[in-house]
Chains A and B, each alone.
Chain A
Amino acid sequence: MKSIWYFVALILLVIGGLIFLTGIYHLFSPPEIETVLFEIHPNIWWGFLMIIFGSIMYFKTRNRIA
């Protein structure tokens, strides 16, 4: 059975990647209605943080068996 940490890594990577890419898209094509503090582009740096965290977990747990 795969370790739980492997599944955590996967979901953080997938969701973090989607958020990061959305942020990049909005950098060049801003939405019509902007949220408060949109100018600091939280989805880019927060999505990137999730990718980093997910990647570390993925590479540490991909071969681990629970």
Chain B
Amino acid sequence: MQTIGLQIIDWIIILIYFGFVLGIGFYLRKFTTSEEDFFLAGRKNSSWVAGLAFLSANLGALELLGMTGNTFKYGMYVAHFYWIGAIPAMVFLGIYMMPFYYSSKIKSIPGYLKLRFDEKTRVLNGIAFAIMTLLVSGINCYAMALVLHTFLGWNWDISMWASALTVMAYVTLSGLMSAIFTEIIQFFLIWFGLFLVSIMGIIEIGSLDQILTRLPDSMNTLWSTSSDPTQNGMLIHWAGIVLGLGFVLSFGYWTTDFLVVQRAFSAKNLRAARMTPILASFFKMALPFIVILAGLIAIALSSDPNSGFKLLEDGGKINYDSALPLLIARYYPTGLIGLGVTALLAGFMAGQAGNISAFNTVWTYDIYKSVLNKNASDNHLLWMGRASTIVGVIISLGTAYWAKSFPSIMDYMQAIFSWVNAPLFATMLLGMFIWWITPNGAFWGLVVGMLSSFGMWLAVKFNWINESIITMSTVQSDMAANFWRAWWAWLICFILTIAISFFTLKKPKEELVGLVKGLADEKYDSHLIFIKRPEFFAIIATIVLIVLNILFW
């Protein structure tokens, strides 16, 4: 494995970043005096702060190495994760779901399940989410180690422990507040640190059109080859993209995953909370111009033997996740390479911190206080939040080693999301929009939905069944399997929840006021002129989404 030498100025830039985030942790500690400060950042953030943090919490290893690597593997189809696979769900969250979440003053998504259904559904989701966040946190650790290994020649173990200890320090000091501060710093560092890769790639190759011309036909469009799975890089039919990614996985992640939604809970009022995902959607739509474009540039350079560009290989297998670090090494001279490495590190550490801060909240409120110590004082909960941060980081280190065994980061992530988020979205959708869905219907629907998704994954992994049964296609790819598995898990949960609800005890309507559509005053922000309402910005976001899809059809 090749390593890239850093000069003293690059080291100084990296150390400035580490010093900065630790310093912010110490600075914010004196403002973190209550459990609400630690777990919800005091509920005083503007929509801009909450919106950028909402986006950045998701902008960890998944977005950077994973998406660039997957673009090299699957082509432009990966942009679906940013457009149809994100924007409709973010807009839906802001317009329809956020009022129920924010107005009920819950501290976590499982907290909503407790109010809408019952304690057992809350604890089930709390445990599943806690496990998921630790797994995803582990992947950030793994991605961090990959960067340090590639650039600095450090060994995996030291890299993982170095990143994890830094995250542990600043999240333990001031919880969600320091996580949000570092996420916003990370947002700017990523744009300044990585967008230059795309600019330099375009300058070297000539133009965006020339980059697209160099790609195989199966990789340079978004939809035009989607009617035949054999003709596109992801080997998937458009129905799989729309139902699996655009509907189930996307809505499951963006509307129910507490990691991102927690940032909106920190907003200062309902309008700011509703604007949080809608503002974030604009920046989300812009991200392909960093990560997808970098992946396309990597493909274009690889196709030219004179470019000297070649992805790393581990044991004869192509390491797709090395695409972005290698482009940084190609274009960035001393100084800039320090910024590029810092941007990657910032992304990984913020991604890990985001998961850990969501984990400590769900553990403390939805498992510890709900089951183990119902009478815990505020001070004790604050202490528990800090203690669970430390334990969570240590456990996520273990999961990082598991992540190494997956062929690429995104396959690992989507597999996890399809187990937990996909069925949960069915539960949330039914619970929030149909009043007669019962606690037992929700609980057993969720249990069977999660088990079915995990069971399908196991069955394919160990060749008990053929993957084509799930994907309804003769050609196979891990990503297509993830999309389709998510769809089936959602459908199973959806149907079972409705069926069981017909025969089990319903909650009285009066207990559901403010939690279910149709049972509350739903005229939000009606005192504002139209161009200041979240609905106006949602319409603009939708128009931009449609234009982008048509442009790259």
A5 to chain B minimum Cβ distance, whole angstroms, is: 8
Given A11-B17, A11-B189, A50-B192, A35:B181 Cβ within 8 A: no
Chain B residues whose C-beta falls within 8 Å of the C-beta of A19 in the assembled complex? 13, 335-336, 338-339
Q: Which residue of the partner chain A has the closest CB to B49?
A: A4
Contact assessment for A18 and B196 in the assembled complex, using a CB-CB cutoff below 8 Å = no
Q: Mark B70-112, 1 if CB is under 8 A from A, else 0.
A: 0000000000000000000000000000000000000000000
Q: Interface residues of B: mostly helix, strand, loop or mixed?
A: helix
Question: Given A35-B330, A42-B332, A43-B335 in contact, is the A8-B342 Cβ separation under 8 Å?
Answer: no
Q: Is A56 an interface residue (CB 8 A)?
A: no
B224 within 8 A of A: no
Enumerate B10-49 residues with CB–CB distance to A below 8 Å.
12-13, 16-17, 20, 24, 27-28, 31, 44, 49
B 311-342 binary contact with A (CB < 8 Å = 1; else 0): 00000000000000000011111111011001
Q: Count of B residues near A, CB < 8 Å?
A: 34
Interface string of A1-36 (1 = CB under 8 A from B): 110100110111011101100110010000100111
**What's the least CB distance linking A65 to chain B, in Å?**
11
Kindly state whether residue B241 has any CB partner on chain A within 8 Å. Answer: no
A-side interface mostly: helix
The residue of chain A having its C-beta at the shortest distance from the C-beta of B333 within the complex is A35
State the Cβ distance, A35 to closest chain B Cβ, in Å.
Answer: 5
Bound-state Cα–Cα, A16 to B331, Å: 17
Contacts of B1 in A (CB 8 A): none
How many A-B pairs have beta carbons closer than 8 Å: the answer is 88
> A14 and B16 in contact (CB under 8 A), knowing A19-B339, A40-B203, A42-B200?
yes
B458: Cβ under 8 A from any A Cβ: no
B204 sits at the interface (CB 8 A): yes
Whether A11 and B196, one on each chain, are in contact in the complex, defined by CB atoms closer than 8 angstroms, is: no
Please determine whether B188 and A8 come into contact, CB atoms closer than 8 angstroms: yes
In the complex, the answer to whether A11 meets B335 with C-beta atoms within 8 Å is no
The CA-CA distance from A42 to B202 in the complex, in Å, is 13
Q: Mark B387-427, 1 if CB is under 8 A from A, else 0.
A: 00000000000000000000000000000000000000000
**Nearest opposing residue in chain A for B327, CB measure:** A36
* Chain B positions 168-207 with a Cβ under 8 Å from a chain A Cβ: 180-181, 184-185, 188-189, 192, 196, 200, 203-204
Residues A23 and B16 in contact, CB atoms below 8 Å apart: no
The reply to whether the CB of B475 lies closer than 8 angstroms to some CB of chain A is no
Contact call B188/A47, Cβ cutoff below 8 A: no
Q: Is the CB of B28 within 8 A of A47?
A: no
Rounded to whole angstroms, the CA-CA distance of A14 and B189 in the bound complex is 12
A38 within 8 A of B: yes
With A4-B181, A7-B20, A11-B185 in contact, do A18 and B9 touch (Cβ < 8 Å)?
yes
Is there an interface contact between A43 and B184, defined as CB atoms closer than 8 Å? no
Question: Would you call A59 an interface residue if the criterion is a C-beta within 8 Å of the partner chain's C-beta atoms?
Answer: no
A residues within 8 A CB of B188?
A: 8, 11-12
| Distance of A16 Cα from B192 Cα, bound (Å) | 9
Q: How far is the CB of B10 from chain A (nearest CB, A)?
A: 9
Q: How far is the CB of A48 from chain B (nearest CB, A)?
A: 12
Is the CB–CB distance between A42 and B333 below 8 Å?
yes
Are B16 and A43 in contact, CB atoms less than 8 angstroms apart? no
A22 and B335 form a contact (CB under 8 A): yes
Bound: A20/B236 CA distance, A: 46
Task: Decide: B333 and A1 in contact? CB cutoff 8 A.
Answer: no
Q: Quick check: A1 and B28 within 8 Å, CB to CB?
A: yes
- A37 close to B332 (CB less than 8 A): no
- Pick the contact of B332: A16, A31, A35 (CB < 8 A): A35
A23 to B335, CA, bound (A): 8
Tell me which residues across on chain A come within 8 A of B44, comparing CB atoms: 66
Residues of chain A lying within 8 A (CB to CB) of residue B24: 7
Q: Is the CB–CB distance between A36 and B13 below 8 Å?
A: no
Q: Which of B13, B27, B31, B332 contacts A15 (CB 8 A)?
A: B13
Known: A8-B185, A11-B185, A50-B192. A37 touches B334 (CB 8 A): no
B16 to A37, Cβ gap below 8 A?
no
Residue from A7, A14, A31, A38 in contact with B181 in the complex, judged by beta carbons closer than 8 Å = A7
Which residues in A have their C-beta under 8 angstroms from that of B181? Answer: 4, 7
- Complex Cα distance A52/B180, Å? 24
Q: Say yes or no: A4-B339 contact (C-beta < 8 A), given A35-B330, A37-B204, A66-B44.
A: no
Contact partner of B196 among A4, A10, A16, A42, CB < 8 A?
A: A42
CB distance from B485 to the nearest CB of A (A): 39
In the assembled complex, the Cα of A6 lies from the Cα of B123 at a distance in Å of 40
Q: Pick the 6 closest A-B CB pairs, nearest first.
A: A22-B335, A19-B335, A43-B335, A43-B336, A35-B333, A1-B31
Q: Can you sample 7 A-B contacts with CB below 8 Å?
A: A7-B20, A11-B188, A34-B333, A36-B200, A37-B204, A37-B331, A43-B333
Identify the A interface with B (CB < 8 A). Answer: 1-2, 4, 7-8, 10-12, 14-16, 18-19, 22-23, 26, 31, 34-38, 40, 42-43, 46-47, 49-50, 53, 66
**8 further contact pairs, Cβ within 8 A, besides A15-B342, A42-B196, A42-B336:** A7-B20, A19-B336, A22-B335, A23-B333, A31-B333, A36-B331, A46-B192, A47-B335
